[in-house]
Structure formats: C-alpha cells, structure tokens
Amino acid sequence: MLALITGASKGIGRAVTLELARKGFDVAINYNHSEESAITLKDEAVSLGVKAEIFRADVSVQEQAVKMFADVKAHFGENVSVLVNNAGITRDNLLMRMKAEDWLTVINTNLNAAFYCTQLAVKDMAKARYGRIVNISSVVGLTGNAGQCNYSASKAGIIGLTKSVAREYAGRGITANAVAPGFINTSMTDILKNDVKEAILKSIPVSRIGTPEEVARAVSFFASEDSAYITGQTLAVDGGMTMI
C-alpha cells in the first residue's frame, strides 16, 4: 500500500515516513525546499525494503498539489491509500502586530493544503472503498495560544476538516483522524527562546519535550487497518499537556 506524506523532508514528517516504511508502506515523500534531506530520507526508506520517491511541491498551491498527485500515481502505478497531511509552518505574532500576509500564508500552508490533498486522495480512496487520512493538528488548535492566532486557527480548522471528512466518507471505508502534537523536538521548536521553552516545559506533566518518533507511532496507528473503527478523532500526543 502507498502512503503520501506532505512536508516529509524534516521533523515529524520525516519520522512518520520512516515509521510507515518500517510498517511496509511504500512512501511518496513530499518536500518543498529541503531537497537534500528528502533524498537522504528516500535512501533510508529504500533501505527498509520499500519503494520510495521524492516529489517537490508547494502543497499550499492547488495546481502543485494536483501535479504531485498525478506524478505520484504515474510513478508508483497505484493510488494513495494513506495520506498524511503534515506540512506546516509558523509565522507567530500577537494579534495586533500580525500582518494579513502572515495570517494567509499560515492558513494556506497548514489548512488549505490539507483540503487540496484530501480532495485529491479521497477521489481514488472512495473508488477503492478504503483509505486513511491522518491530519497533523496541534494542541494549540484545541487550546489556542497567545501569539499564534493564525497557527491556532489553522490547526483548529484541521480538526473541523477531519471530522467532516470522517462523516462524509465513513461509509466508504475511509477514516479521517487527527494527531495533535504538543511540544516536539524539531526545527519548528528549535527557534524558540530558552525562556519560552522552559515555560512550556513547566506545563507538560511528563516533564520533557516529545520526539518526532513518538508522534509518528500515533500516526502509524491511524494509518493502519487496526484503527478501522476509529474516525473523526483527535489524539493529543503531548505528554499530558491538554487532557481535554
């Protein structure tokens, strides 16, 4: 079975790709800027005994998402059975200082891209009467966060998208679930100042930052046949930060 992971070149997407490859999925690796990392990842996946290929696309641009799906299909000769909408960015600022451009860029990348890719994937999944959509949200999509109104809105939007797709396609063997990571060690969180990191750490009951691999294992469960009776759910992988 073929899995397509958006924003797979780094961090959580990279770990998800390797976890799915370990589980025997062929992997279509989407990246935008980080080509070298994507190539290294492809080699690692192939060494696990599965087929892998890289596909450059800015998934926030619908035409590029359409071309990526066509290229993936042509390369592997099969449809995507598992879609992981993982590509994401931050452009943090307080509400009053946030530029409309930063609002739009984040919504386009974190939410609109997931809509484009889900629509493209579901077309084939519905015909096959099987599919797994796994969307990467965030705990701030559940709780909100000062300085992240664009990011929080995009991640709350992801949860609404997940639930609606789950309801529309439950009868066609397609599940849609979201994973909401907390504070995970990737380049997205590397840029935070030490005092911010320390403050976040104090809010985590397990008292440590999470790893991309810990998120990947939850994604892998939702990508598997074992989760057939679970749809429309959001699972926080956050060391106990939210407990909603």
Residues that bind ligand NAP (CB under 6 A): 6-7, 9-13, 30-34, 58-60, 86-89, 109-110, 136, 138, 181, 183-184, 186-189
The CA distances from residue 144 to 73, 153, 244, in Å, are 38, 8, 13
**Residue closer to ligand NAP, measured from CB, 128 or 233:** 233
Q: What is the DSSP string of 130-160?
A: -EEEEEE--HHHHH--TTBHHHHHHHHHHHH
**Residue closer to ligand NAP, measured from CB, 127 or 198:** 198
Active-site position among 31, 116, 130, 151: 151
**Residue closer to ligand NAP, measured from CB, 48 or 61:** 61
| 153: CB partners within 8 A, 6+ apart | 107, 111
Compute the distance between CA of residue 133 and CA of residue 103 in angstroms, rounded to an integer: 25
Compute the distance between CA of residue 23 and CA of residue 67 in angstroms, rounded to an integer: 27
49 φ, ψ to 5°? Answer: 95, 15
Q: Check residue 129 and report its DSSP letter.
A: T
**Residue closer to ligand NAP, measured from CB, 88 or 131:** 88
Compute the distance between CA of residue 73 and CA of residue 78 in angstroms, rounded to an integer: 5
Q: Check residue 86 and report its DSSP letter.
A: -
Catalytic status, residue 151:
yes
Name the β-bridge partners of 52.
27
**Residue closer to ligand NAP, measured from CB, 7 or 131:** 7
Listed in sequence order, the DSSP H helices in the chain are: 11-22, 35-47, 62-76, 100-107, 113-128, 139-143, 149-169, 187-190, 194-202, 212-223
**Active centre residues (catalytic):** 151
